Structure 1
Amino acid sequence: MTTIQTKQIVKNHEVRDNGAKLIFDDPILCAQFLRGYVDIDLLKDVNPEDIEDISERFLPMWQEGRDSDSVKKIHLKGQALYLITVIEHQSKVHYDMAFKLLRYIVMILTDYESEQEKLYPGITKTKDFKYPPILPIVYYEGTDTWTAVRNFKERVYLSDALGKYIPDL
């Protein structure tokens, strides 16, 4: 007798979010997306088994409903480090996206720091401790041109005068 496992698809408020959720929740489709649409050499050989979904760890931290957003840990072959990919799906332009991504990045790095401290007490206070890189991806399929800033620095006033003191991401 064969057992067929089915995934329960969480119904999202936005119809388009259901499609994005299917793509990014499926490791095969997510790997295909990263290989085909992200122009980073490190990700050209990513396979489905390299992708770990850690979205559940962040649900309590997100202030608003997060129907399709996901956080993936990408394990890179032959390297001790890994990428954490934040995938933010949008069907219309959101002008606060740069700040939203900054919040996600801070949450992920804070979680990473806590995880490392549990594994290796005191490690984050050492000179050699490093945080993992984070690749934010905005998956936009709206009909209008994306007109929101792509860099957080552009969203901060006085960035022309104080630019070197404002995060450039």
Structure 2
Amino acid sequence: MDKINKPHDKLFKEVMGDIETAKSFIQHYLPPKIVRLIDPESIAIETDSYLEKDLSEYFFDLLFRVKMQQEEAYVYLLFKHKSRVDKHVNLQLLGYMTSIWKKSVPRPLPVILPVVFYQGREKWEAPQWFSNRFSNYDRMGEDLKDYIPDYKYELFEISSLRDEEVKGAKRLRIYLDVLRLRALRGKAAIREVMLRVAVTISELPRTEANERFFQVCTIYLFETMGGEYFQQMSELMETVSEERSEKMQTIADMLRQEGMEKGMEKGLEMGIIKGREEGREEGLEKGMEKGREELLWKLISKKFPKASKKYFEKLKTLTIEKLDALGLELIDMKNEEELKKYLM
């Protein structure tokens, strides 16, 4: 079983944790016979996760409360990141559903519609009906079948989506195309989808929520695409929005700097970098600060070519926390006056 990465978790929850995007997914990708029963205005997010602690490294989940035929019900989204098909998922789902039902006692139990998100390239061939997990179920007598619980989960197989099947709200379409990139083969097909992602991102209104989504999406792309494809994505973005492309590069530079610092810390922990014990921690911290100062000055100079060098001297007086905060603020700064207010 492959562990999930934090970028996958963050992107999934950033997208599907938005009510309007969740509504769009439910309306476009659940079976029409079920969609007709759901009151879209009733959809609300439950904050609890029902994953066992040892499985939360491999899955993540979201639970939505809905009204279905005027009765309380739930839509349970379980995301299984990449790897192989998991034939045990329906047994795990049954455990999560039981946990949800326990909270309803002594009231009547609500209907739960479980949905499995699957991102892997391998075709999902595990049985969706729980009863198919039992040996010889098809030849089993009806009297014995009375003792076997049964249910079905819905499967959302992302890698099998064709271009024309990607639909819904803009953020949902961006999310699905970004996930599909990992399964696409051929540079032309990848480029076409990347361009579509860039165009759709450029069409998003400039709201706080959309800016946060863009940052999380960029981090995901940086962490999962590889340097060559990320650079190509940034170049395609530049053809539709120079501002978005610059922000992508700024976020990427900050992530590279953070990666270098983590590598230094790891090296010290493993004993790869040897030195005097006395003052080593202080030296590392100063080195990190200097690296951030130089990176930020490069970013400032690129964004505001006429910026005074006195700003660089001011950067040297800031703590790591303040340097990080400035890096994020810099992304949205429109002119040098805003920078001056921050540093002077």
Distance in structure 1 (CA, Å) of the matches to 2:6 and 2:119: 12
> 2:64 maps to which residue?
72
Letter in structure 2 aligned against 1:42: L
Residue deviations 1:34-84, cap 9 Å, x none? 0111121113x514xx2222242x45x7243436311111135x72x1221
Which of 78, 81, 84 is equivalent to 2:74? 84
Give the gaps of 5 or more residues in structure 2. Answer: 152-344
Letter in structure 2 aligned against 1:84: Y
Which of 24, 44, 62 is equivalent to 2:52? 62
- Give the 5 Å matches for 1:1-169: 13=5, 15-39=7-31, 40=34, 41-43=36-38, 46-47=40-41, 50-56=42-48, 58-59=49-50, 62-66=52-56, 68-76=60-68, 79=70, 81-90=71-80, 91-92=82-83, 93-113=85-105, 117=106, 124=107, 130-159=108-137, 160-161=139-140, 162-169=144-151
Stretch deviating more after TM superposition (146-155 or 156-165): 156-165
Distance in structure 1 (CA, Å) of the matches to 2:95 and 2:130: 11
Distance in structure 2 (CA, Å) of the matches to 1:144 and 1:18: 24
May I ask how many residue pairs the two structures share in their alignment? Answer: 137
Q: Is the 8 A contact 1:101 1:136 kept in 2?
A: yes
Relative to structure 1, the CA distance from residue 144 to residue 134 in structure 2 (aligned partners, 3 Å threshold; closer, same or farther) is same
Q: Larger Cα Rg: Structure 1 or Structure 2? A: 2
The structure carrying a bigger helix percent of its residues is 2
TM-score relative to the length of structure 2:
0.36
Distance in structure 2 (CA, Å) of the matches to 1:151 and 1:55: 28
Q: Is the 8 A contact 1:69 1:88 kept in 2?
A: yes
Q: Is the 8 A contact 1:87 1:137 kept in 2?
A: yes
Residue deviations 1:91-125, cap 9 Å, x none? 33211111011111111111111xxx4xxxxxx5x
Q: Is the 8 A contact 1:18 1:68 kept in 2?
A: no
Distance in structure 1 (CA, Å) of the matches to 2:52 and 2:113: 18
Give the gaps of 5 or more residues in structure 1. Answer: 1-11, 118-123, 125-129
Relative to structure 1, the CA distance from residue 16 to residue 63 in structure 2 (aligned partners, 3 Å threshold; closer, same or farther) is closer
DSSP 3-state at the match of 2:150:
coil
Relative to structure 1, the CA distance from residue 150 to residue 14 in structure 2 (aligned partners, 3 Å threshold; closer, same or farther) is farther
> 2:197 maps to which residue?
none
TM-score relative to the length of structure 1:
0.69
Q: Is the 8 A contact 1:53 1:71 kept in 2?
A: yes
Distance in structure 1 (CA, Å) of the matches to 2:91 and 2:55: 17
- Aligned-pair Cα RMSD in Å: 2.3
